[in-house]
Structure 1
Amino acid sequence: MKYFVLIALFLMLPVSALSQYVFEGQVDPSDWNGQAYLSEIKDYRKLNGVFNEQLIQRVPLDSLGIFRFSGNSLSEANKLYRIHVDRCASYEQDLNHFTGNCEHSKAMIIIANNKDSISLPQRFDNEIFCEAISTNEATLALLKVDSIMEAMKYEFVGLRSETAVNNLLDTWTKRLHEFGAEQDPLVGLYIYTTLTDRSTIFYDHHLRSLNKTDFYDTLKTRLEDQYPEAATSKQYFKELQADKSLAKMEEAVDHSNLYLGGGVLVLLLMGAGYFYGRKRPGKIKAALTPQEEKILQLIKENKTNKEIASELFISHSTVKSHVNNIYRKLGVTSRDEIKSLTIR
């Protein structure tokens, strides 16, 4: 009778008490070191780094490169997680994980909860984290977003016209928005994170088109309904408001620029001519970075800042910063000086 009561009590336990997550995969053990890591994404601006404050579990790789995360400690609601392996030597790992800088790593972002099972098989060509078998459809949707982004970047190859680039951005951004609108809100948040990376041309386009779409306001409402207390949701609410304020400021600047008179342009040209006449290019004052070397070569090829931004997949403002650094390091004040400069 006692055993019958115990069995009955066990069967009456809520499903949540029996739930357990299982995330497993395989990597080539000759390429990766002896551990795999599971992190919770508490800050979606840290998707691509390795941060100690986000690490929740580490497990060893066996002799075949197989790893397995399991337990009963995750949230019952969906959250963003990151699985990664790296090639860092053991003495480097603590420093790399503290600074968020781990150059030799491979990772996959997943959406999961405490009940999910996810398998990450190794492909025949030893590629990893390219496929997933998951009980959570949202993880599969993230892979779809990644594939859309890759296809969009591939179409950028060879584009030089600013109009062509903007049209392509409009087309693919709309496709991402339409896809994300049908998925878990965390998929929409992942799309937002990708399209607002300030190191790429996507961010400038995001600001220009922010008031032309209801995707982001709708996403805010959906996150408030499903994940109101999540740290990533609160982060999004603040960033969206900041984006809107910045978009209004840039729109105001664009409108004011329309009223600049020809006299201002003449003064600018006169000033440039004055400094050009007083200052001659000299020796390099500081070494150029690899990115600055690329931009210097493109300047010599008569590429505009916008064309350089498109070719290198960086924002227009980032190009301007690099150009200013090049001017300072070379001791020049114009592109003409750069083209005529013999670096000594």
Structure 2
Amino acid sequence: MRIKILVIFLAITSICEAQYSFSGYTNPEEWDSSVYLSIVEDYRKMSGVYSEQIIAKTVADSTGFFQFTGNMLDTENRIYRVHVDRCSITQQEINHFNGHCSDSETLLFLAKNTDTLKLPFSFGKQIFCEIESNNPKANAFIKIDSLKNDMRFAYSEFRSEANRKLNNKKWFKTLQEYGKALNEPLAEIYIYAYLSDRSSELHNYYVEDLKDNSYYNNLKTRLENTYPNTTYTKQYMNELEADRYLLTSSDKKSATHWHLLLYFILGISILLNLIFVYRNWKQKQSKLEDLKAKLSKQEQVVLEHLLMDKTNKDIAECLFLSVSTVKTHTNNIYKKLNVQSREDAKSLFIS
């Protein structure tokens, strides 16, 4: 009886103390020291950087080592992302977390609350290329990305329309079957999101495949059995229903009507994007003018030369000033712009 009580006590203790540990290394010479951990609940937002997904932030030490620990994650696999970037908060014209930080490095992985996961340096101090984990499903996305790289190589071997069509058909099935073989519905969702992306050439194959392939219903069943009541399952079911509704509707309407609708949507999308780009450009120009207004006329002239990567000596010769005077102007520019170096100043004014 005492032994049973001891076993139960140890089991309860282990559950209470169960926690995750995600650690790894970044290259401090290349990346900012801040490292972010996100949970991805919308599989259409697996690529990019989104503020609403971030659940933790840590700072890497001088060697680049970082670690996330805790016990707040789900007890079942979910999709997580670790990312670093160089989108400095001093770059006011850039929204740090708008999903479009191009100067970032990210890694998607599967994990749960009891997992230990390490992200070591790979060859040449490359980061986020390898995963060491007690969860065998953790590196599913890395495996899929590796297969996608093989696919891109096959496409580039012969840049012809015929080669592209043959590869579309081949790789659509290859990716689909590969995801199924991983025996992890979330890995299949990762592939599904790629194959069904409306901006991809493979989307046409997805539409045709959806008409008579039982794979999609089987994936729905696998998701319901493994991840019931999760956002992934609900999102997939809603998208599947919507796509099938569109297929049914398309059979009842002429191709001409659909072309007009698509052209209309495309036109609206282009217009909205142009408005968005123009508005961002105007905001950026306004902010840059505000920054320059903080400087004296002489400092503005020195700044223009700094942005052209001229040395203090070169600037002094061009403006007929002493080197010490140029250094004084430079220090004043740094203080007024709240930057620490030439590179910081250039990041404000050069896209």
2:141 is the counterpart of 1:115:
no
How far apart, in 1, do the equivalents of 2:122 and 2:91 lie?
29
TM-score, normalising length from structure 1?
0.68
1:209 positional shift: 2.2
Show the counterpart of 2:102: 103
Letter in 2 for 1:194: Y
Show the counterpart of 1:38: 37
User: Is contact 1:166-1:205 (8 Å) kept?
Assistant: no
How far apart, in 1, do the equivalents of 2:48 and 2:122 lie?
24
How far apart, in 2, do the equivalents of 1:232 and 1:93 lie?
34
1:202 positional shift: 2.2
Show the counterpart of 2:325: none
1:196 positional shift: 2.0
Higher relative contact order by CA 8 Å / sep ≥ 6: 1 or 2?
Answer: 1
Distance 1:209-1:166 versus aligned 2 partners, 3 A rule: farther
SS in 2 for 1:194: helix
Show the counterpart of 1:177: 176
How far apart, in 1, do the equivalents of 2:184 and 2:163 lie?
32
Deviates more, 1:122-131 or 1:103-112: 122-131
Show the counterpart of 1:241: 241
Deviates more, 1:104-113 or 1:133-142: 133-142
Distance 1:31-1:177 versus aligned 2 partners, 3 A rule: same
How far apart, in 1, do the equivalents of 2:91 and 2:74 lie?
31
How far apart, in 1, do the equivalents of 2:29 and 2:97 lie?
25
User: Is contact 2:22-2:116 (8 Å) kept?
Assistant: yes
Unpaired segments ≥5 residues, structure 2 = 257-261, 272-351
1:91 positional shift: 3.4
How far apart, in 2, do the equivalents of 1:12 and 1:147 lie?
39
Show the counterpart of 1:198: 198
User: Is contact 1:181-1:215 (8 Å) kept?
Assistant: no
Show the counterpart of 2:159: 159
User: Is contact 2:110-2:140 (8 Å) kept?
Assistant: no
List aligned pairs for 1:269-308, cutoff 5 A: none
How far apart, in 2, do the equivalents of 1:164 and 1:250 lie?
29
Distance 1:230-1:92 versus aligned 2 partners, 3 A rule: farther
TM-score, normalising length from structure 2?
0.66
SS in 2 for 1:37: strand
User: Is contact 1:118-1:134 (8 Å) kept?
Assistant: yes
How far apart, in 2, do the equivalents of 1:147 and 1:66 lie?
25
How far apart, in 1, do the equivalents of 2:243 and 2:13 lie?
43
Distance 1:124-1:233 versus aligned 2 partners, 3 A rule: same
How far apart, in 2, do the equivalents of 1:16 and 1:95 lie?
43
Show the counterpart of 1:225: 225
Deviations 1:209-245 (A, max 9, x none): 2224222211111111111111121111111111222
Deviations 1:156-189 (A, max 9, x none): 123322x542331221121222222232111111
Identity over aligned residues, as a percent? 36
Deviations 1:97-124 (A, max 9, x none): 4422212111011111001111111112
Deviations 1:132-154 (A, max 9, x none): 11222222222111111111122
SS in 1 for 2:240: helix
Deviations 1:55-98 (A, max 9, x none): 10011011011111111110001111111111111335996344
Show the counterpart of 1:73: 72
Deviations 1:273-306 (A, max 9, x none): xxxxxxxxxxxxxxxxxxxxxxxxxxxxxxxxxx
SS in 2 for 1:96: coil
User: Is contact 2:26-2:65 (8 Å) kept?
Assistant: yes
SS in 1 for 2:171: helix
Show the counterpart of 2:305: none
Show the counterpart of 2:276: none
Letter in 2 for 1:127: Q
Show the counterpart of 1:85: 84
SS in 2 for 1:13: helix
Distance 1:221-1:94 versus aligned 2 partners, 3 A rule: farther
1:37 positional shift: 0.5
Distance 1:317-1:130 versus aligned 2 partners, 3 A rule: farther
How far apart, in 1, do the equivalents of 2:251 and 2:15 lie?
50
How far apart, in 2, do the equivalents of 1:132 and 1:16 lie?
25
List aligned pairs for 1:249-260, cutoff 5 A: 249-250=249-250
Deviates more, 1:200-209 or 1:53-62: 200-209
1:16 positional shift: 2.5
SS in 2 for 1:84: strand
Unpaired segments ≥5 residues, structure 1 = 1-5, 258-315, 326-344
User: Is contact 1:40-1:80 (8 Å) kept?
Assistant: yes
How far apart, in 1, do the equivalents of 2:107 and 2:38 lie?
11
CA-based RMSD: 3.0
Deviates more, 1:194-203 or 1:48-57: 194-203
